[in-house]
Amino acid sequence: MTLNLIDTDISIVGAGFAGCIIAHKLASMNISCTLIDRKDPFPDIFRAEKVEPEQARLLKSLGVFDYLSPSPTPVGTIKLFKKGITSDFDASKQYGFRYSDTVNNLRSLLPVKAKLIVDKIDDIRTSTCTQEIKLSSGKLIKSKLIILASGGNGSLLKSFGLRRRYQASLHSLSFGFDIEKTDGTNFDINGFNYYNESDGVDYLTAFNIGNNTMRVNVFTQWQKDNPSVSAFRENSMQTIEKYFPKLSDHIGEYKIISKVQVFPTSFYRLKNIYQAGMIVVGDELQSVSPATGTGLSKIVTEADRLTEHYIPKWLANECVTSYDVWKYYHDKEKSTMERHSKNAWHYYRNMLNPKYKSFKYKIIDRLNNYYFKL
Ligand SMILES: Cc1cc2nc3c(=O)[nH]c(=O)nc-3n(C[C@H](O)[C@H](O)[C@H](O)COP(=O)(O)OP(=O)(O)OC[C@H]3O[C@@H](n4cnc5c(N)ncnc54)[C@H](O)[C@@H]3O)c2cc1C
């Protein structure tokens, strides 16, 4: 088969949130990049649905904030319900959004310097100076650097000689669904957070997404085989009432109008990452507990640090060495954000399970952090 050669500065494997925002920023700096994804469009799967103020600030500085879909509208003042007390919270710098619509928007609005190829990867070869990706269609992509942004899918780790290190005590399970008022009118609140903080359940957050609809996320520290998971799927309204009593007193009588999506996560971080010519970003590098709301913070920090402080220097040199890559992974802002994301996961786990507050687990957590080099 004759190979169709594509020469590009950077190859990005995975055109999800991380891959797309990095491609947008690089292309705006006149750096050519080729995104490769095995699926188009990006499917309707359960991921981040709210942008926090600091995430919004960095999305603006990366020039992609306006690509959020639906177009960014502040959540406004929301109600909090914690330990029997209701209070107001200013969420005017938070934005609700649809993840898959946003990724598809980012894909369709890529600048000319960035190209998306939808194909299957057959082979990957990395070296200090030239990286090669061979696609099923016969195309061969050559670049100076490969960015692996495949979102925790894990299917390409072997090709790069990468492996995951798991921390068994950190896991979480989240639910997401849409609700509407039973009388069809609009909700008279912008959003509502209901803290349970017992029985392994962190909190419920509901926020307006337009069309008289609210999106609801419920965050727990349950394992997949917890019997409450199937109860939630099969009898959602009763299970919500069990863990969030009298929710309708706060938001009005409601009904669930979508499928209940369920997403389990466990903590992992990749090892063997100091390789010349390639770096890993987003959920593929380190998983995140959805309850912490730090997944996008990690991604926007990576995109900002990489594009502003590392890639332009690397491209000015002949090659991207393993020492260059090592320095990037030790970037202070990036590592602080990754540590913060993991510590926030510890916080939720410890809050819901007193056993983890003991001296023994403090030592185990310290050793784990040392082991994970975070
Ligand atoms: C339920 C849930 C709720 C969350 N809530 C929040 C929140 O409120 N706030 C927050 O900040 N974070 C949240 N997160 C975390 C956040 O969603 C993730 O950190 C973020 O979506 C990861 O983006 P990514 O680009 O790494 O992966 P993705 O956006 O999933 O992209 C991965 C891409 O790689 C492609 N791909 C995979 N394998 C291959 C392959 N072999 N070849 C080519 N392409 C491939 C996929 O098709 C996909 O397009 C949540 C996560 C979950 C699961």
Give the E-state strand segments of 182-284 in sequence order: 191-198, 201-208, 213-220, 254-256, 261-271, 278-280
Return the sign of the alpha-carbon dihedral for residues 284, 74, 52, 347: negative
The verdict on residue 237 lying in a domain is yes
Assess whether 284 and 256 both reside in one domain.
Answer: no
Strand pairing category for 145-148 and 278-280:
parallel
pTM: 0.94
Q: Which domain holds residue 215?
A: 168-264
- Indicate the residue type of 347: Y
Q: Give the span between the Cα atoms of 83 and 68, in whole angstroms.
A: 34
Q: What is the pLDDT of residue 197?
A: 83
Q: Report how far ligand 1's centroid is from the alpha carbon of 17 (Å).
A: 7
* Per-residue pLDDT tens digits for 255-298: 999 999 999 999 999 999 999 999 999 999 999 999 999 999 99
* Per-residue pLDDT tens digits for 238-257: 999 999 999 999 999 999 99
Are 140 and 6 within 8 A, CB to CB? yes
The verdict on residue 235 lying in a domain is yes
Tell me the best of 153, 156, 284 to mutate to test the pocket of ligand 1, counting ligand atoms within 8 Å of each CB and taking the most.
153
State mean pLDDT over 104-118. 98
CATH number, domain containing residue 257: 3.30.9.10
Surface-to-core class of residue 112, CB atoms within 10 Å of its CB (0-12 exposed, 13-18 middle, 19+ buried)? exposed
Radius of gyration, CA atoms only, the chain: 22
Count how many domains the chain has. 2
Tell me the best of 11, 17, 232 to mutate to test the pocket of ligand 1, counting ligand atoms within 8 Å of each CB and taking the most.
17
Q: Report how far ligand 1's centroid is from the alpha carbon of 91 (Å).
A: 24
Cα–Cα distance list, 259 to 29, 174, 266 (Å)? 41, 14, 23
Assess whether 195 and 148 both reside in one domain.
Answer: no
CATH number, domain containing residue 288: 3.50.50.60
Return the sign of the alpha-carbon dihedral for residues 72, 78, 83, 84: negative
Average pLDDT of the residues of the chain:
93
* Per-residue pLDDT tens digits for 113-163: 999 999 999 999 999 899 999 999 999 999 999 999 999 989 999 999 999
Partner residues linked to 121 by β-bridges: 135
The verdict on residue 18 lying in a domain is yes
The verdict on residue 373 lying in a domain is no
Q: Which atom of ligand 1 lies nearest, measured to the CA of 14?
A: 34
Partner residues linked to 216 by β-bridges: 177, 206
The verdict on residue 366 lying in a domain is no
Q: Which atom of ligand 1 lies nearest, measured to the CA of 263?
A: 1
Are 59 and 25 within 8 A, CB to CB? no
Q: What is the pLDDT of residue 2?
A: 57
The verdict on residue 370 lying in a domain is no
With cut-offs at 50, 70 and 90, classify the pLDDT of residue 374: low
For residue 304, pLDDT beyond 60: yes
